Amino acid sequence: MFSWLWFLIIGIIAGWLAGRITRGKGFGLVGNMVMGVIGAFVGGFLFGLVGLSAHGFVGSIIAATVGAVAFIYLTRYLKKIG
């Protein structure tokens, strides 16, 4: 139960950070959570590609934020070409 709670908290923080990094205003609580959760999966995948791993609370936030930023930029790029 607590692992899901931590996962959502990390998602909210990472989504908010990604919104700030990409010059946005955030996506609201639910939007931040969704972006952060997607970012966690994307970040884990990207970190695995380059041989990195994230441990602990701060490491998880960093990986999720990197993934969320990558996801935001990919989404913006696909909107432009579509």
In a domain, 40, yes or no: yes
Please choose, from the candidates 73, 53, 72, 71, the residue with its C-alpha nearest in 3D space to the C-alpha of residue 63: 53
pLDDT tens for 50-78 read 999 989 999 999 999 999 999 999 988 99
CA distance 1 to 66: 25
Asked whether residue 69 is domain-assigned, the answer is: yes
Give tens-digit pLDDT for 20-42.
998 876 678 888 888 889 999 99
Residue range of the domain that includes 71: 29-77
Collect all residues with Cβ–Cβ distance below 8 Å to 9 and sequence separation of at least 6. none
Read off the pLDDT of each residue in 3-24 and give the average, rounded to a whole number: 89
- Per the rule left: phi > 0, alpha: psi between -120 and 50, beta: everything else, 26 is left
* Residue 13 forms part of a structural domain: no
**How far apart are the C-alpha atoms of 18 and 26, rounded to whole Å?**
8
7 falls within a domain: no
